[in-house]
Amino acid sequence: MSQHDTAASEGGLENLLHEGRSFPPSAEFAGQANTGPEIYERAAADREGFWAEQARELLTWSTDFSEVLDFSGAPVARWFADGRLNAAYNAVDRHVEAGLGDRVAIHFEGEPGDTRTLTYADLKDQVSRAANALAELGVRTGDRVAIYLPMIPEAVVAMLACARLGAPHSVVFGGFSAEALHSRIVDADARVVITADGGYRRGKPSALKPAVDEALAKGGPVEHVLVVERTGQEVPWTEGRDVRWADALAAAAPEHEPVPVEAEHPLFILYTSGTTGQPKGILHTTGGYLAQCAFTHKYVFDLKAESDVYWCTADIGWVTGHSYVTYGPLINGATQVIYEGTPDTPDKDRWWEIVEKYKVSILYTAPTAIRTCMKWGAEFPERHDLSSLRVLGSVGEPINPEAWMWYRQTIGAGRTPVVDTWWQTETGAIMISPLPGITAAKPGSAQTPLPGISAEVLDERGQPVPDGGGGYLVLTEPWPAMLRGIWGDPERFHDTYWSRFEGMYFAGDGAKKDDDGDIWLLGRVDDVMNVSGHRLSTTEIESALVSHPVVAEAAVVGAKDDTTGQAVVAFVILRADEQQRVAEIGEDIVAELRAHVAKEIGPIAKPRSILVVAELPKTRSGKIMRRLLRDIAEGREAGDVTTLADSTVMDKISRGMQR
Ligand code: WTA
- Tens of pLDDT, residue by residue over 610-646, are 999 988 998 877 888 888 899 989 988 877 777 777 7
507 C-beta closer than 6 A to ligand 1: yes
Q: Confirm or deny that 422 is annotated as ligand binding.
A: yes
In a domain, 554, yes or no: yes
In a domain, 260, yes or no: no
At 537, is the pLDDT very low, low, confident or very high (cuts 50, 70, 90)?
confident
Asked if residue 659 has pLDDT above 60, the reply is: no
320 C-beta closer than 6 A to ligand 1: yes
In a domain, 612, yes or no: yes
The rounded Å distance from CA 472 to ligand 1 centre is 14
- Measuring CA to CA, which residue among 518, 527, 633 is closest to residue 571? 633
> How high does pLDDT run on average in the chain?
92
Tell me, what CATH number does 588's domain have?
Answer: 3.30.300.30
pLDDT, residue 2, reads 31
434 C-beta closer than 6 A to ligand 1: no
Least confident of 6-15, 248-257, 473-482: 6-15
Asked if residue 540 has pLDDT above 80, the reply is: no
Q: Confirm or deny that 203 is annotated as ligand binding.
A: yes
Q: Are 480 and 453 in contact (CB under 8 A)?
A: no
User: What single DSSP character describes residue 23?
Assistant: B
What is the reported pTM?
A: 0.85
Closest ligand 1 atom to Cα of 539: 3
The rounded Å distance from CA 395 to ligand 1 centre is 7
At 17, is the pLDDT very low, low, confident or very high (cuts 50, 70, 90)?
low
Q: Which of 319, 392, 395, 473 to mutate to test the pocket of ligand 1 (most atoms within 8 A of CB)?
A: 395
The structural domain count of the chain equals 1
pLDDT, residue 152, reads 98
Q: Confirm or deny that 425 is annotated as ligand binding.
A: yes
Q: Are 119 and 103 in contact (CB under 8 A)?
A: yes
pLDDT, residue 16, reads 62
Q: Are 537 and 527 in contact (CB under 8 A)?
A: yes
Q: Confirm or deny that 609 is annotated as ligand binding.
A: no
165 C-beta closer than 6 A to ligand 1: no
Residues β-bridged to residue 393: 364, 419
**Residue numbers of the domain that contains 573:** 548-658
The rounded Å distance from CA 546 to ligand 1 centre is 20
**Using CA atoms in the order 585, 589, 591, 592, what is the torsion angle rounded to 10 degrees?**
60
Q: Are 524 and 273 in contact (CB under 8 A)?
A: no
Asked if residue 202 has pLDDT above 50, the reply is: yes
527 C-beta closer than 6 A to ligand 1: no
Q: Confirm or deny that 420 is annotated as ligand binding.
A: yes
Cα separations (Å) of 506 from 189, 411, 424, 511, 607?
A: 29, 35, 12, 12, 30
Q: Confirm or deny that 201 is annotated as ligand binding.
A: yes
* Residue 375 φ/ψ, nearest 5 degrees: -65, -40
370 C-beta closer than 6 A to ligand 1: no
pLDDT, residue 602, reads 75
Residue nearest to atom 4 of ligand 1 (CA): 397
- In degrees, rounded to 5, the angle at the alpha carbon of residue 597 between the alpha carbons of residues 594 and 600 is 150
Dump pLDDT digits (tens) for 46-76.
Answer: 999 999 999 999 999 999 999 999 999 999 9
Closest ligand 1 atom to Cα of 422: 15
CA distance 521 to 312: 22
In a domain, 602, yes or no: yes
Q: Which of 371, 509, 525, 619 to mutate to test the pocket of ligand 1 (most atoms within 8 A of CB)?
A: 509
The rounded Å distance from CA 423 to ligand 1 centre is 5
419 C-beta closer than 6 A to ligand 1: no
168 C-beta closer than 6 A to ligand 1: no
In a domain, 218, yes or no: no
Dump pLDDT digits (tens) for 404-436.
Answer: 999 999 999 999 999 999 999 999 999 999 999
Alpha helices in 538-625 (DSSP H): 538-546, 579-585, 589-600
534 C-beta closer than 6 A to ligand 1: no
Residue nearest to atom 5 of ligand 1 (CA): 424
Cα separations (Å) of 644 from 532, 622, 637?
A: 32, 9, 15
* Residue 537 φ/ψ, nearest 5 degrees: -100, 135
The rounded Å distance from CA 325 to ligand 1 centre is 17
Quote the strand ranges of 222-378, DSSP E: 224-228, 242-244, 261-262, 266-272, 280-285, 309-312, 335-339, 362-365
Residue nearest to atom 22 of ligand 1 (CA): 424
Closest ligand 1 atom to Cα of 521: 3
Asked if residue 650 has pLDDT above 50, the reply is: yes
In a domain, 279, yes or no: no
524 C-beta closer than 6 A to ligand 1: yes
Q: Which of 171, 422, 483, 496 to mutate to test the pocket of ligand 1 (most atoms within 8 A of CB)?
A: 422
The rounded Å distance from CA 439 to ligand 1 centre is 20
In a domain, 586, yes or no: yes
Q: What are the residues whose beta carbons fall under 8 Å from the beta carbon of 189, sequence distance 6 or more?
A: 144, 221
At 301, is the pLDDT very low, low, confident or very high (cuts 50, 70, 90)?
very high
433 C-beta closer than 6 A to ligand 1: no
Radius of gyration of the chain (CA): 24
pLDDT, residue 557, reads 92
With H, G, I as helix, E, B as strand and everything else as coil, classify residue 65: coil
Would you tell me how many other CB atoms lie within 10 Å of the CB of residue 383? 14
In a domain, 67, yes or no: no
At 9, is the pLDDT very low, low, confident or very high (cuts 50, 70, 90)?
very low
296 C-beta closer than 6 A to ligand 1: no
318 C-beta closer than 6 A to ligand 1: yes
Q: Which of 397, 407, 518, 520 to mutate to test the pocket of ligand 1 (most atoms within 8 A of CB)?
A: 397
Residue nearest to atom 11 of ligand 1 (CA): 422
The rounded Å distance from CA 398 to ligand 1 centre is 7
Q: How much is the ipTM here?
A: 0.99
Cα separations (Å) of 126 from 88, 167, 417?
A: 11, 17, 36
The rounded Å distance from CA 410 to ligand 1 centre is 24
